[in-house]
Amino acid sequence: MVDAATSRLEGLRGGAIDPGTATVVLFLLGAAIFLLIGCLQSKNFAQLTIEGLALGSVYGSLALALVLVYRATHVINFAQGELAMLTTYIAYELMLKGLSYWTAFAATLAIAFVLGTVLQVTIIRPVQHRSVIATVIVTVGLFILIDGIVNWIWGGDFKFMKSPFGNGSFEVGGVKILHLYVGMVIVVFASVVLVWALFRFTKLGLGMRAAALRPAAASLVGVRVDSMLAIGWGLAALLGAVAGLMAEPTQIFLSPGLMQPILVYAFAAAVLGGLESPAGALIGGLLIGVALTLIAGYKPHIGPITITSELQLPFSFVVLLVVLLIKPSGLFGRREVRRV
Report the residue from 230, 268, 282, 295 that binds other proteins according to the rule CB under 8 A.
Answer: 268
Cβ-based nearer residue to other proteins, 76 or 331? 76
> Mind spelling out the 3-state secondary structure of 191-255?
HHHHHHHHHHHCHHHHHHHHHHHCHHHHHHCCCCHHHHHHHHHHHHHHHHHHHHHHHHHHHCCEC
CA-nearest of 320, 288, 259, 295 to 56 is: 288
Answer yes or no whether residue 251 interacts with other proteins by CB under 8 A.
no
Instruction: Answer for the pair 92, 255: CB distance below 8 angstroms, yes or no.
Output: no
335 binds other proteins (CB under 8 A): no
Does residue number 308 form part of the binding site for other proteins (CB under 8 A)? yes
- Using CB under 8 A as the binding rule, whether residue 102 contacts other proteins is answered as no
Nearest to 280 by CA among 50, 120, 71: 71
* DSSP result, 109-120: HHHHHHHHHHHI
Q: Least Å distance between CB 6 and other proteins?
A: 27
- The answer to the question of residue 267 lying near other proteins (CB under 8 A) is yes
Which of the stretches 13-21, 141-149, 170-178, 234-242 binds other proteins when contact is defined by CB under 8 A? 141-149
Stretch that binds other proteins, among 54-62, 99-107, 165-173, 258-266 (CB under 8 A): 258-266
Helices (DSSP H) in 77-178: which residue ranges?
80-96, 101-119, 132-154
Residue 260 binds other proteins (CB under 8 A)? yes
Q: Does 325 bind other proteins (CB under 8 A)?
A: yes
Q: Which of 15, 30, 166, 314 is in the footprint of other proteins by CB under 8 A?
A: 314
Which span sits near other proteins by CB under 8 A: 46-54, 174-182, 278-286, 317-325? 317-325
By CB under 8 A, what part of segment 69-88 binds other proteins? 70, 74, 76, 78
4 binds other proteins (CB under 8 A): no
Reported residue count of the chain is 340
Phi then psi for residue 156, to 5 deg, are -85, -5
Q: Applying CB under 8 A, which of residues 208, 239, 271, 286 lies at the interface with other proteins?
A: 271
Residue 195 in contact with residue 235, Cβ under 8 Å? yes
d(CA 30, CA 38): 12
With CB under 8 A as the rule, give the number of residues binding other proteins: 48
Using the rule CB under 8 A, which residue among 12, 22, 32, 134 binds other proteins?
A: 134
Cα separation, 136 vs 116, in Å, equals: 16
Q: Is residue 1 within the footprint of other proteins (CB under 8 A)?
A: no
Q: Pick the closer one to other proteins by CB: 47 or 293.
A: 293
**Please, what is the minimum distance in Å from the beta carbon of residue 68 to other proteins?**
15
Q: How far apart are CA 236 and CA 176, in angstroms?
A: 33
User: CA 50, CA 185: separation in Å to the nearest integer?
Assistant: 10
- What's the min distance (Å) between Cβ of 115 and other proteins? 15
Q: Are 236 and 191 in contact (CB under 8 A)?
A: no
Binding site for other proteins (CB under 8 A): 70, 74, 76, 78, 123, 126-127, 130, 132-134, 136-138, 140-149, 151-152, 155, 260-261, 264, 267-268, 271, 275, 308, 310-314, 316-317, 320-321, 324-325, 328, 340
